[in-house]
Copies of this chain bind each other. A is one copy, B any other.
Amino acid sequence: MKSPCAAIAARGFVLNLSDTEIADLIDVANALADVARTVTLQHFRTADLVADNKRPADFDPVTEADRGAERAMREVLAKRRPQDGIYGEEYGQTPGTSGLTWVLDPVDGTRAFISGVPCWGVLIGLDAGDGPILGIVDQPYTQERFIGGFGLAELRATKTTPLRTRQTKSLTDAILFTTFPEIGTPDDRKAFEKVRDQVRLTRYGLDCYAYALVALGQIDLVIEAGLNPYDIQGPQAVIEAAGGIVTTWDGGPAHKGGRILAAANKDIHAAAMALLA
């Protein structure tokens, strides 16, 4: 397996992006996060926030924060990158001509959002067709922006901190996060529990913030199931840029979603994958 930094660097190679274009892409990614931050915070913890249900069988909420933030990001892209495709959670796929697609989740963690929890986020991935070459996990309420790609791996908050994953070698020393028991099939859950039973500490329910903590070198593993491309491409780029590995449970490419294993390094990735198989 290539080193993770090599994996992210190798993607989109055929597009032959110039330094000027790379700088523009980074600038646009930040502009997207900026507008999404503004729109989402206008709705957060407001009395008139209405959660509609996208999936009547259970409760899959969506709000005007989700929709408004995606519309605002689409307006930025229409102006600055009309040649790129868009794949957003709320408004679907818009084709482009450049070979690049912006993969957007305007509010990852809508359940957290409607509950007033601080840890929902805005996810932005720039897909080169075979996976993200740039990603942002933005945390509007805590004003933390995790960005990775094109040589960048940073947490930008009141100060800027380099992102670097941990070097934990053994599951018995590892910290694992997941959104189980909320998602996944019973079989998925059984596989997850095999890892849970080995690690030092398991924590639940943090949505995208958990991936940011892998990149920040605070935790070692995130295991989830049933993800969409827009749930993972932003976090994937950030973790890979920080030295971690993100694949499906069987080691395949992660950018299409599904059952996802994000790990701080190749040792802990291999140990978890052996139990999930």
Binding site for B on A (CB under 8 A): 45, 59, 61, 111-112, 114-119, 141-142, 175, 177, 181-182, 200-206, 209, 213, 216, 218-219
Question: What is the bound-complex CA distance between A193 and B137, given in angstroms?
Answer: 33
Q: Which residues of B contact A117 (CB under 8 A)?
A: 119, 203, 206, 209, 213
Given A45-B216, A116-B218, are A111 and B181 also a contact pair (CB < 8 Å)? no
Q: Which residues of B contact A181 (CB under 8 A)?
A: 181, 204
Q: Which residues of B contact A118 (CB under 8 A)?
A: 118-119, 142, 209
Q: A45-B216, A111-B203, A116-B218 are in contact. List 9 more A-B contacts (CB 8 A).
A: A61-B201, A115-B177, A115-B213, A115-B218, A116-B219, A117-B213, A141-B142, A181-B181, A181-B204
Q: From residue A249, how far is it (CB to closest CB) to chain B in Å?
A: 21
Question: What is the bound-complex CA distance between A195 and B102, given in angstroms?
Answer: 41
Q: Which residues of B contact A205 (CB under 8 A)?
A: 203-206
Contact at A115–B201, with CB atoms within 8 Å? yes
Q: Which residues of B contact A202 (CB under 8 A)?
A: 182
Q: From residue A70, how far is it (CB to closest CB) to chain B in Å?
A: 22
Q: From residue A267, how far is it (CB to closest CB) to chain B in Å?
A: 19
7 cross-chain pairs, A with B, having the tightest CB-CB distances, nearest first? A116-B218, A204-B204, A204-B205, A205-B205, A116-B213, A115-B219, A115-B175
- Chain B residue at minimal CB-CB distance from A49: B218
Contact at B45–A218, with CB atoms within 8 Å? yes
Q: Which residues of B contact A115 (CB under 8 A)?
A: 175, 177, 201, 203, 213, 218-219
What are 16 A-B residue pairs whose CB atoms fall within 8 Å in the complex? A45-B216, A61-B201, A111-B201, A114-B201, A115-B177, A115-B201, A115-B203, A116-B219, A117-B119, A117-B213, A118-B118, A119-B119, A141-B142, A181-B204, A203-B205, A204-B204
Q: Which residues of B contact A204 (CB under 8 A)?
A: 181-182, 204-205
Question: What is the bound-complex CA distance between A139 and B204, given in angstroms?
Answer: 19
Q: Which residues of B contact A213 (CB under 8 A)?
A: 115-117
Question: What is the bound-complex CA distance between A218 and B115, given in angstroms?
Answer: 5
Q: From residue A189, how far is it (CB to closest CB) to chain B in Å?
A: 11
Q: Which residues of B contact A209 (CB under 8 A)?
A: 117-118
Q: From residue A245, how far is it (CB to closest CB) to chain B in Å?
A: 19
Q: From residue A157, how far is it (CB to closest CB) to chain B in Å?
A: 10
